[in-house]
Each structure stands twice: as structure tokens, then as C-alpha cells.
Structure 1
Amino acid sequence: MTYRYKVAVVFLLGFFIDCVNIFMSAVAMPSIAAQLQVSSAAVAWVANAYILGLTLVIPISTWLAGRFGNRQILCASMLLFSLAALLCGLADGFLSLVFWRLVQGMAGGLLIPLGQALTFNLFQGAQRARISTLVMAVALLAPALSPALGGAIVDHSSWHWVFLASLPLSLLAALLSWCWIKAERNTPPPRPDLRGLLLLSATLGSLLLCMSLYGSGYPPYQALLCLATGLLFAVLYRRHCRGCEQPIVDLQLLKNPRLGLSVGIYYAIPGIFTGVNLLSLFFLQDSLHLSAQHSGMFMLLYAAGALLAMLACGRYYNRLGAARLFAIALVLHSLGIAALCGVDSTSDLPLILLAYTLMGLGGGAGANTAQTTALLDFAGTDTHKASVIWNINRQMAFSLGAALLLMIYNLLLRFLEVIPAYHLSVLLAALAGLMPLLSLNRLNPPKDSHAPLDH
């Protein structure tokens, strides 16, 4: 095996482990909430902490690699990931579980961007397209298989093994990183904007905590205090950006219509889907009494629909244009969410199947089109800055989508029974998912919009 394929194997293995940890743990949430006696809004922090850790480390991974070496950072990240996975599996309290998930996310945030950069630098032209296809395949395979596998583990053992199951793969990734990655050091890049990174992370953490507290029945003043703190950190970060030459996230780039709209699309589709799927897992297991394995298997349909949509978008992107593809994706995705409003019992299984298929079609089309559109207008160093925004936004969308929908559901439970509260929550999610339709006119006509891509 040539060196570049060894690097690709390390990256793809790490990427697979990261995706599995996000989606496999989701199906175990109801069991974790029941055993550790926490609310559905609070247990979302098992996922939020992981994604917050990713967000915290992604912007500084390149600097760390330049400072300590690619092989050392890749190997250390997987060893730390393995240790955190072990301690998550052994956790007997909610706070310790959330803490080690944060550490696990930070470890994963080191490998993913660094491994991707190393791999894509070694594959150029048509060969890069092949690697991109493999990355897309992993991104579909992990969400398709891991929920059903995680459900089987929960049903036949316990939720602890959902975290322990990744240990063999993460240890293998650490071993391959040390054996296959060349021991070379690059010139350390300029010191990253650590102050900006802390302000950004504090903003996200405060907003997530606000929604979690408000939806879990805590006194309103606590949630309002977290909201005020988050807004204060956001204002401080905005002021910090004005006086910083290289901010960790250059907010000025969001004025670009394609990047700005693509960011919004990611909240409306993958972000909202994360919340809908997590809420549905609780509803299917706690209210309809489906097993964890059965409720996780619906992701197979989602992945199949997403694969078909991604292939179609790759073929028709230049012909139809981003605006039309976005419109189709938003409508399909919201129709799928709205179909869940008719689910009252296990006899409505065909409706659940239809809902996940439609959400997969819309999710695949929306994510693929956003990924292609977001960075079209950027070149040189601006491409890297825009890429940082895109990757951080992608992680934030998952956390905020889950926290917001669980907050709405828990608030509705104060006034409604479980089934009506679930129906109204997903209906509101479906309507919120259509909001970017109002902004599609920001995109240029198709011929002008895709001139850079065609060139």
C-alpha cells in the first residue's frame, strides 16, 4: 500500500469512529436518561458535550500539528479518544459521563481536520474526487449502521457498551497513525486566536445551557441568566473580531450570500433533523415501546434516501442551480418531518418509513448542495477562513437543533399529553425548516452563480 493510501485509511477510520460515536450514542439516550434519572433535555448534553469538544479543538488542530508533528498529534488524539471512551463506558454518574464526552469530542476534533488536510493534499485532480466519494460513503455508512447496532447493544446489554464498543477501532487508529504517518514537523503557523476561541465556545455553551435549563423545568431566571451570559459573550466576540487581524471565525465572511445561506440551510435541515430524530427516539421507545434496535433501524431508510439525493445533486447541480435544489431539499425534508404528525401507535409504521425516507432525500440534497455552494466564492487564505466557519457551524447546528427541539417538547408537556406534544413539536420543526425559502432570492441566477465552478 502506498503512503498516501495509508494516510487515507487512517483518516477514514478516524472519521468513521467519529460518526459512529455521534449516531450510536443517540439511540442510547432514552436508556441513559432512565438509568441516570435525568430529563430528555438534560441527557442531550451527552451529545452536546461531544460536539462542543469538537468545536473547541477544530480551529487549533493545524497549529498543534505544526507545533508537535502530524504523527504525534494523530496518535495522541486516538489514545485520548480511547481513554475517554473507556471512562464514558465506566461512568456511573451523569456529570462524569458528560465530562468525558467533552474530552472525547476534543480528541476527535484533533484527528478529523488534520487527517482530512493530510489526505486531500496527497490526492489531486480526479484522484481527490475518488477520496471525496469514499468520505461520502463513510458519512452515509456510519449513520445507517450505527443506530441499529447501538440499539442491539442497548437491548441485549447496557448503554455502557455503546461507548466501549469503539475502543478496538480507536486503538487500531492510534497504532496505524504511529506506524504509517511519517515523523515530520512543519513550520509552526502563527499562534491561533485563543481568546476568540474561548469567547466563541462560551457563547455556544451558554446558549445550549439556557435551552436545556428552560426545557427541563428549572426556574426561568436561571435560563435567562444563561441567555444573558451567552449574548454578552457574543457581543464580546464581535468586538474582539474588530481588533483582531486573524480572528478564529471571521464573521465578515458571512456577508457572502452563498456562504451565509448555506450556513442557514445547515441549521434548517441537518440541525433540525438531529433534534427531530432524537425526539423521535424517545417517543418510539418510551411511548410506542419499540426496542432501541428497531427505532435505530429507521436510519437505514434515511441513509438510502440521502445517498440517492446526493448522487442526483452531483449530477444536476450545474443544470438546476443551488436555489432550486435548496427549495426541493427544504420541501422534501419538511414533508418528511410533517408526516410524523400522523404517528400515534405502532400500526403507523408505514408512515414512519415514509417520513424517514423523505427526510433522507431532503437531508441528502440539502447537505450536499450546501457543501458545494458554501465555498464557491473564496480563494487563497479566505478559503481556509470560510472552511473554519463551515466546519464549526456544522457542529453547532447539530447541538442547537437538538437542544431547541427538546426544549420545545418539554415546554409543551406542561400543557399537553405526550402524543399531542410530540405532534406539535415536529409540526413546528417542519415549519421552521421551510424558513430559508424566504432567502433563496439572495443567490444569483444559476449561470452567474456557478461560473466559478464551471471555470
Structure 2
Amino acid sequence: MIALVTGLDYFDNAIFSFFASHIAGGINASPDELVWSSSTYAMAAVLGILQQQWWIDRVGHRRYVSGCMLLYALGALAATAADTSLQLAFARGLQGYFIGPMMGACRILIQITYAPPQRPRATRAFLIMLLLGTSLAPIVGGELVAHFTWRAVFACTVPPALLFSALAYGALPDSGHAPPEERTNSHIWPYVVFAFAQGALQIVMQQVRYQLFLSSPSLILLSFAGFASLAWFARQQWNHPSPLVRMSAFRQRSFQVGLLLYVFYYYITTSFSYLSSRFLEAGLGYPVENAGRLTGTTSLIAASALFVYLRYAKHVTRKKWIIVPGFALAACTAFVMSRMTPQVSEAQLIAPLLMRGLLLLFIVLPVANLTFRDFALDDYTHSYRLKNIFKQLTLSFATASVIIVEQHRDALHRERLFEQASPLNPSFAQTLDTLTRGFAAAGHAAGEAQALALASLNQTFLRQAAFLASLDGFLFVAGVAVCGGLIAAWQKAID
């Protein structure tokens, strides 16, 4: 049951990231407007993680997980019915608050529910569903978008969410209740201050694309207010006897390094998901179901390596020997993708997509072993919530920044390509003439034939620009992976 809920969480994140462009087109939203949906989801998820213990103290694990699944389903219905970017942002915020904390809640449940001899088996099921959720999202989403509309991306999560809500209520232990005198305080003002800090920094991140940061007093003021609020929140929580989340985990060097490597991984994999979709569909012209099937199938094949990892990784005592090659694999995969040509065959795409699917095994699993190994159970729950807060913020930042990079490069390549669309360019003039004669031979009038030829060339330019922008995005991700690998190689805390 715990594994199923986690699988749905990862399925939701993967399907939204992969089909973001289809969702944006469905509600007639620009990529920048769609970013607000991602940001709202992350902000709400972080606030949900902060309040997680408050809810569990009062309703227990069973009602908390069951209720979150039920209300997440309502959020999915709201997203399905959304017609504007504002409505979608509200719906995604509702979803984020209730499903965003689920991975942490379920992972913590494994620690407190299962005895040590049973825990490896439960963790194995947890990891399998995590990988299945991520891998199946492109396949299922591709078929649904191809045969229905973008709304099916959200609608398909409603039945499993309702089912898991019922199963959680019947299967999970009724544990976690705390006596009134031992319950976590509501922390209203710290909660409000943290929400303000998140909102301020998200606005700055969104607007910095349009305004020069140093020449905009409003952005500078918002940044200062956001970071000052975060600093106050961290200090208040650090000194509070019963905090929402314990900051003392940051005293552990291994936790600091592990958290940083987690951030790099989540940034890389989220960027890969978005860029792969854009590369296959907008750049190469793959039908959405073919793109989803190719990406999902290669992820499923790569996920089977989990059993090899679980069998042999325990014999590698220095986890750095796995983590650093993992970042090298990520950089190599992104670089290979950045060197693709428009004539690339599907067979040539299989190897880099398989390599991308191995990143979780090479980075996340060994990092997880090192990050939380020194914590007792109570400290583990708080440190894991901290990790999930950083995860949600990284997913939001990755989605926003990769869209900004991709859109900037797309605009640049469009400008350069359209500069070639001149009668003075012999190649362009010859291509236009050939297309015009082809349409005229098909029975179109001369004026109509030329208009159709120009429209055809326009579509070609747009596809070429999208293709080149995707290549630039992959090169950017390769640089991020190299930085992550260098940091991992330099650190001694992960030996």
C-alpha cells in the first residue's frame, strides 16, 4: 500500500513534466504561465510537508494518507476541468499540498512500521513502485493524449487515487496519534513567514527573465525579503523545542553533502524529462504516443537493473565509486543527446535513453544510504522531510529554469533561421520555388500554392528551432551534471 501511494506521486510528477507543452497548448497558456502551475505545486507541497507532523499528531497515519489521497483526487478533477492557467495553478497547488508529502510519509512509515528484518523487503517494493511510476507515466500519458486530450493526463490519476485512499484506510496502522500535550504546535506565524518567503523568491525567479535584476529595485527588495524571511524561519525553528521540522540535521556533514547531491539529481532528471519530450515531439516530429512509448519503455528496461544494484551494491564499500560515475553517466548522456542530428533514427536514441534511466540507481540510491545513515528514528523523520522540501523546490526550479533556457534558445534560433528567409538567399529562393511548383502541380492556384509553400517553410523553421533549442538544453544539463560530479568527487563525506 505504501509503495502504491509513492508510485502515484512519482507518476504525477513525471507525467506533468513530460507533457507540459501539451498541457500549455490545451489551456492556451505560454510556457511562462505554465511555470506558475509548477511553482504553485512546489510551494503547496513544501507547506504540506511542513504541516505533515501536525496532521499526523491529530489524525494518525491511516487517516492522513487516506485523506490526502482523497483530496488529491479532487485536485486532479479540478485540474482536468481547468480552462485557464490560473485555474490550473490553483488545482496543481491543491494536488501538491496533498500528494507532495506522500513520499516522505510513506518512507517514514516503512521505518516505524516494519521490523528491521522486514524492512529491506518493504524498501524494495517502495523502490520498484517508484521506478514503475516514473517509467509508466510517458507510456500511459502518450496513449491518453493521442486518443483523448491533455485533460486525460490528470483524469487518469483520479481512479487510482480513490482506490488507494480506500486501501490506505483499510490497510495502514492507526498509529501516530499524540496526546494533546505532546502534539506539534501550529506555528502559525513561522508558517506564514515561510510561505511568504517561498512566494517572494518564486516571483523573483519568474520575473528575472524579463527584468535585469540589478536594475530592478522591486526584484532586489523581494529577494532580500525572501531570504531574510527564510533566515528568520530557520533560526526560529532551530531554537524551538518542538519545531515543525528540525534544522539540527544540518549539523551532519554527510547530510549536507547528500542533500546537495540530491538537488543535482532532481534538477538533472526533471530537465531531462522536459527536454526529451520537446526533442522527440517538437524537434523530430514524433507523434506523442511514439515519444511516450520510446521514453517509457527504455526507462522500464533500465529500471530492471535495480535488482542487479540491490544484489551487488552492498559489496561496494566506497559509495563514491558509484556516485561519481553516475554523474559522469548523466553528463555523457546529455552530451550525446546534444550531438544528435535531425536524421537520427529511433535505434540511435535507445542507448542514451537507457543511460538516462540508470541515473536513479547510480546517484539516488547510494546517496540515500549515506545521507541518513547517522540518524536515529526521530531525527530520521525530520531529516527526510527536509530532504523532500528541497526536492519539491528543486523540481519547481528545474522546470522553470529549463523552460526559460529552452525558450530563450528557441527564440534565438528562430531569429537566425528567419534571417535566411530572403529572396536574396539562393537556397531559400530555390526551395520556395520547388515547393510552390509542387503545390501548383497538385491543383492549387498560383497564389495559394505560394502561400502553402511559405507555410510549409515556416513549419520547417519552427521545427528546426525547437530541435536546436533542445540540443542547447541538453548541453546545459551536461554542464550541470559535470558540476555535480566534481562536487561529489571532491567531498570526503561520501566515502
Question: TM-score normalised to the size of structure 2?
Answer: 0.79
Distance 1:136 1:445, change over 3 A: closer
Mapped contact 1:196–1:237 kept (Cα < 8 A)? no
One-letter amino acid of the counterpart of residue 178, structure 2: N
Q: Matched residues, percent identical?
A: 19
Distance 1:400 1:110, change over 3 A: closer
Q: Which residue does the alignment assign to 1:29? A: 20
Q: Which residue does the alignment assign to 1:270? A: 266
Instruction: Quote the offset at 1:434 in angstroms.
Output: 1.4
Deviations 1:399-448 (A, max 9, x none): 222222222222233433423332222212101111133333332584xx
One-letter amino acid of the counterpart of residue 212, structure 1: Q
Distance 1:93 1:232, change over 3 A: same
Paired with 1:238 and 1:26, the residues of 2 have a C-alpha distance of: 31
Paired with 1:140 and 1:378, the residues of 2 have a C-alpha distance of: 26
Q: Which residue does the alignment assign to 2:324? A: 327
Distance 1:426 1:41, change over 3 A: farther
Q: Which residue does the alignment assign to 1:233? A: 226
Instruction: Quote the offset at 1:79 in angstroms.
Output: 2.0
Q: Which residue does the alignment assign to 1:75? A: 66
Is the aligned partner of 1:359 residue 2:356? Answer: yes
Distance 1:128 1:329, change over 3 A: same
Q: Which residue does the alignment assign to 2:456? A: none
- Of 139, 160, 179 in structure 1, the residue corresponding to residue 151 of structure 2 is 160
Paired with 2:39 and 2:22, the residues of 1 have a C-alpha distance of: 17
Mapped contact 2:14–2:273 kept (Cα < 8 A)? no
Paired with 2:154 and 2:266, the residues of 1 have a C-alpha distance of: 23
Distance 1:81 1:362, change over 3 A: closer
Paired with 1:25 and 1:273, the residues of 2 have a C-alpha distance of: 13
Q: Which residue does the alignment assign to 1:3? A: none
Q: CA RMSD in A?
A: 2.8
Mapped contact 2:3–2:130 kept (Cα < 8 A)? no
Deviations 1:224-279 (A, max 9, x none): 74565244222222234334424545555335332222222222223222013212
Is the aligned partner of 1:434 residue 2:428? Answer: no
Distance 1:207 1:294, change over 3 A: farther
Paired with 1:277 and 1:203, the residues of 2 have a C-alpha distance of: 28
Is the aligned partner of 1:187 residue 2:179? Answer: yes
Q: Is the deviation greater in 47-56 or in 364-373? A: 47-56
One-letter amino acid of the counterpart of residue 277, structure 2: L
- Of 56, 81, 96 in structure 1, the residue corresponding to residue 47 of structure 2 is 56
Is the aligned partner of 1:46 residue 2:69? Answer: no
Q: Secondary structure at the match of 1:259?
A: helix
Q: Which residue does the alignment assign to 1:339? A: 336
Instruction: Quote the offset at 1:202 in angstroms.
Output: 3.8
Q: Secondary structure at the match of 1:158?
A: coil
Deviations 1:368-398 (A, max 9, x none): 1111111123335433332222121222222
Paired with 2:127 and 2:391, the residues of 1 have a C-alpha distance of: 15
Instruction: Quote the offset at 1:176 in angstroms.
Output: 2.5
Q: Which residue does the alignment assign to 1:451? A: none
Distance 1:284 1:210, change over 3 A: farther
Q: Is the deviation greater in 191-200 or in 390-399? A: 191-200
Paired with 1:225 and 1:30, the residues of 2 have a C-alpha distance of: 30
Is the aligned partner of 1:175 residue 2:166? Answer: yes
Q: Unpaired runs of 5+ in structure 1? A: 1-8, 447-455
Is the aligned partner of 1:409 residue 2:403? Answer: no
Distance 1:431 1:317, change over 3 A: farther
Paired with 2:186 and 2:490, the residues of 1 have a C-alpha distance of: 36
One-letter amino acid of the counterpart of residue 492, structure 2: L
Q: Is the deviation greater in 247-256 or in 389-398? A: 247-256
Deviations 1:36-58 (A, max 9, x none): 22233432343443333222111
Q: Unpaired runs of 5+ in structure 2? A: 415-464
One-letter amino acid of the counterpart of residue 186, structure 1: A
Distance 1:90 1:445, change over 3 A: closer
Instruction: Quote the offset at 1:119 in angstroms.
Output: 4.2
Q: Which residue does the alignment assign to 1:349? A: 346
Tell me which structure has the larger Cα radius of gyration: 2
The within-5 A match list for 1:417-428 is: 417=414, 418=465, 419-428=467-476
Q: Which residue does the alignment assign to 1:258? A: 254
Paired with 1:324 and 1:223, the residues of 2 have a C-alpha distance of: 45
Q: Which residue does the alignment assign to 1:385? A: 382
- Of 135, 153, 166 in structure 2, the residue corresponding to residue 144 of structure 1 is 135
Paired with 1:179 and 1:306, the residues of 2 have a C-alpha distance of: 30
Mapped contact 2:255–2:371 kept (Cα < 8 A)? yes
Paired with 1:241 and 1:204, the residues of 2 have a C-alpha distance of: 13
Q: Which residue does the alignment assign to 1:211? A: 205
Paired with 2:273 and 2:115, the residues of 1 have a C-alpha distance of: 37
Mapped contact 1:50–1:103 kept (Cα < 8 A)? yes
Is the aligned partner of 1:103 residue 2:152? Answer: no
Distance 1:385 1:425, change over 3 A: same
Q: Secondary structure at the match of 1:434?
A: helix
Paired with 1:80 and 1:223, the residues of 2 have a C-alpha distance of: 40
Is the aligned partner of 1:305 residue 2:302? Answer: yes
Q: Secondary structure at the match of 1:186?
A: coil
Paired with 1:94 and 1:268, the residues of 2 have a C-alpha distance of: 29
One-letter amino acid of the counterpart of residue 57, structure 1: G
Deviations 1:102-144 (A, max 9, x none): 1011121454444443443221112111000000000011111
Number of residue pairs the alignment of both structures matches = 435
Paired with 1:208 and 1:391, the residues of 2 have a C-alpha distance of: 18
Instruction: Quote the offset at 1:280 in angstroms.
Output: 2.6
Q: Secondary structure at the match of 2:373?
A: coil
Deviations 1:35-88 (A, max 9, x none): 322233432343443333222111322221211343433332222112111111
Question: TM-score normalised to the size of structure 1?
Answer: 0.86
Distance 1:285 1:212, change over 3 A: farther
Mapped contact 2:9–2:102 kept (Cα < 8 A)? no
- Of 254, 270, 285 in structure 2, the residue corresponding to residue 289 of structure 1 is 285
